[in-house]
Structure 1
């Protein structure tokens, strides 16, 4: 059963997606998890998990989790069968926003950047590039995927504070970048 603060069962304003159950592992109810946390096993530090379902979010209790190869596996409490575990696959995992550790000044969680307006003062004028629709990890550095703005283009802007990112103002909802509008 979905739970939440409103009648729709939605907790989306209170929850932050931190991973996804991808596939079953073995025959005893273990599942593979793709973690969005850095490092990946930080997801195991959160005590209370929520699992996405059709009408919102439901609590998810795990009683085991560990690194396995290049990924993570977890065991869902009370699920000791491969077929039962399969019902949990391809669903997002979230935690309550309030459970996230505080960051130092100048550090941001991806969910804080998504939805912010992106502007550039490149060449002297102000250019509205639209909003950050998502963040993407590329290996060398993170990248902001920005859509909309005056020219309705999608831009991939490297998230490199001090180089391409001039300022982030969460209160105003604006990221100022040093980026050529032609790119």
Structure 2
């Protein structure tokens, strides 16, 4: 039995079979879709109906597949798994989510970052005096078509780097959107999970 990696990242979802020779069609998420073209091992997670819920045993629903071929096709990724040669094999995989180990991601180019690595980073901006000031924690990376945008949950951080969210009067978490461009976020330290920017506090 294959050991399920503890660093799996969800990259897409199987939308249908493709053709009659066992290929599958995947709708990749905006996050790091190109990794699907290079990773040779995918893990497909079986869909769980609301009636059954998640709970214990969820890890057993990850099934490993060896990828023989994968390529872009009209905004989707089509792939052929080892041992597949018939549509009847690929059709049951519809609605499965596609996961890849973070260790299998190709090395990012200089000044480029995988969005998944930005999640949970602490973002610092500048106060009125130009001094570094904590803004919040990155909870999601969005794509507005021109560049990436960080969705940052506002809060406080202590000396041990423990984050505490700041809630609204109604008890809801509050977020801000910050462009992830060099002109704004000038320093990225993934090892320290820290981003430094010139984004003004309170903007």
TM-score normalised to the size of structure 1? 0.75
SS in 1 for 2:200: coil
**Structure 1 residue 89 and structure 2 residue 82: aligned?**
no
Instruction: Show the counterpart of 1:32.
Output: 25
How far residue 52 of structure 1 moved from its aligned partner, in angstroms, is 2.2
How far apart in 2 are the matches of 1:112 and 1:39? 10
Matches of residues 71-86 of structure 1 in structure 2 within 5 Å?
Answer: 71-76=76-81, 77-78=83-84, 80-81=86-87, 85-86=90-91
**Structure 1 residue 172 and structure 2 residue 177: aligned?**
no
The 10-residue stretch of structure 1 (131-140 or 142-151) with the greater mean CA deviation from structure 2: 142-151
**Structure 1 residue 137 and structure 2 residue 130: aligned?**
no
Residue 114 of structure 2, aligned match among 109, 113, 120? 109
**Structure 1 residue 119 and structure 2 residue 124: aligned?**
yes
Q: Can you give the 5+ residue segments of structure 2 that lack an aligned partner in the other structure?
A: 49-57, 157-165, 168-173
The 10-residue stretch of structure 1 (133-142 or 169-178) with the greater mean CA deviation from structure 2: 169-178
How far residue 24 of structure 1 moved from its aligned partner, in angstroms, is 3.4
Instruction: Show the counterpart of 2:9.
Output: 16
Instruction: Show the counterpart of 1:47.
Output: 40
Compared with structure 1, are the counterparts of its residues 64 and 169 closer, same or farther at alpha carbon in structure 2 (3 Å cutoff)?
Answer: closer
Matches of residues 50-61 of structure 1 in structure 2 within 5 Å?
Answer: 50-53=43-46, 55-56=58-59, 57-61=62-66
Larger Rg: 2
How far residue 119 of structure 1 moved from its aligned partner, in angstroms, is 1.6
How far apart in 1 are the matches of 2:32 and 2:151? 22
How far apart in 1 are the matches of 2:64 and 2:97? 12
Q: Determine if contact 2:119/2:138 at 8 Å carries over to the other structure.
A: yes
SS in 1 for 2:37: helix
Q: Can you give the 5+ residue segments of structure 1 that lack an aligned partner in the other structure?
A: 5-10
SS in 2 for 1:22: strand
- State how many pairs are aligned: 174
Compared with structure 1, are the counterparts of its residues 137 and 79 closer, same or farther at alpha carbon in structure 2 (3 Å cutoff)?
Answer: farther
Instruction: Show the counterpart of 2:178.
Output: 157
